[in-house]
């Protein structure tokens, strides 16, 4: 929801950074890999006992993830770049989930449910994007929903920064993901029927 509706306020900063990176010779795929390495380390850093640093790395990777997309749209998008971007985003999420699970075994079942809810929502999202003829500003049709990347990062941050409520925050995340999956499924029915 925030990615869709609040992007207009942060896009100038993202685009300025994208133009600076392009001018410095960076490629969109190179920034995608950098975002992946930084975000992929989030779970390890959290497990090592540095929750604030882990949250900062998560948000830095998210910022770079937005920058790489703007860089691609300013130059030429590549299908493989899209595959890398979507795949690496999921690995960053897995890193956080595994890091939180390792530190908080009591949250194992809610984290498993969270993983399942993300799989369901992303399956709908990616399938609709692949089969839809509707256009968006991205390389495939982007379905908006209650839970987009920013909402996920907010909930992941709460999970890492407030361990006393990690189970409840995770269950809230599950509910938000399932609601988003339902939203996307209902939209798919309207779009594709």
Lookup result for tokens 């369901």:
120
Q: Which of 72, 65, 82 is nearest to 10 (CA)?
A: 65
Is residue 98 predicted with pLDDT exceeding 90? Answer: yes
Q: What total number of domains does the chain contain?
A: 1
How far from each other are the two terminal CA atoms of the chain, in whole angstroms? 24
Of 23-37, 47-61, 84-98, 129-143, the one with minimum mean pLDDT is 129-143
Q: For residue 61, what are the contacts with CB-CB under 8 A and spacing of at least 6?
A: 35, 36, 38, 39, 40, 42, 92
| Count of C-beta atoms within a 10 Å radius of residue 69 | 22
- For position 77, what pLDDT does the model report? 79
Is the Cβ–Cβ distance between 69 and 85 less than 8 Å? Answer: yes
Confidence of residue 25 (pLDDT cuts 50, 70, 90): very high
Closest CA to 36 of 100, 101, 85: 85
Residues 6 or more apart whose CB falls under 8 angstroms from that of 108 comprise 101
Least trusted range by pLDDT, from 11-15, 136-140, 143-147: 136-140
**What local confidence, expressed as pLDDT, does residue 128 receive?**
85
Q: What is the pLDDT of residue 78?
A: 84
The pTM (predicted TM-score) of the whole model is 0.88
Biggest alpha carbon distance in the chain?
50
**Domain around 122:** 2-192
Share above pLDDT 70 across residues of the chain, in percent, rounded to a whole number: 90
pLDDT for the residue 148: 79
In the structure, what pLDDT confidence band is assigned to residue 1 with cuts at 50, 70 and 90? low
The CATH number given to whatever domain includes residue 27 is 1.20.120.1760
Place of tokens 């908006």: 144
pLDDT per residue over 105-139, tens digit each? 999 999 999 999 999 998 988 888 888 776 555 55
Percent of the chain with pLDDT over 90: 66
Which SS3 state, helix, strand or coil, does residue 81 take? helix
Q: What are φ and ψ of residue 69, in 5° steps?
A: -65, -40
Tell me phi and psi for residue 145, to 5 degrees: -170, 175
Quote the tokens at residue 16: 């300025």
At 148-177, the pLDDT tens digits run 788 999 999 999 999 999 999 999 999 999
Q: How far is CA 54 from CA 48, 64, 177, in A?
A: 9, 15, 22
């Amino acid at each position: 929801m925030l990615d869709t509706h609040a992007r207009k306020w942060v896009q100038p900063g993202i685009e300025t950074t994208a133009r600076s990176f392009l001018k410095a010779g960076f490629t969109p795929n190179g920034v995608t890999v950098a975002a992946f390495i930084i975000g992929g380390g989030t779970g390890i850093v959290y497990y090592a006992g540095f929750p604030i640093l882990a949250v900062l790395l998560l948000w830095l990777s998210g910022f770079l993830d937005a920058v790489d997309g703007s860089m691609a749209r300013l130059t030429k998008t590549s299908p493989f770049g899209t595959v890398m971007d979507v795949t690496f985003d999921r690995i960053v999420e897995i890193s956080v989930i595994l890091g939180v699970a390792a530190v908080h075994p009591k949250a194992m079942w809610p984290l498993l449910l969270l993983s399942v809810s993300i799989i369901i929502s992303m399956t709908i999202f990616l399938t609709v994007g692949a089969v839809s003829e509707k256009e968006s500003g991205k390389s495939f049709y982007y379905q908006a929903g209650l839970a987009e990347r920013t909402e996920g990062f907010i909930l992941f941050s709460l999970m890492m920064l407030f361990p006393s409520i990690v189970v409840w925050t995770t269950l809230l995340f599950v509910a938000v993901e399932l609601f988003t999956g339902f939203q996307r499924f209902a939209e798919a029915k309207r779009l594709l029927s």
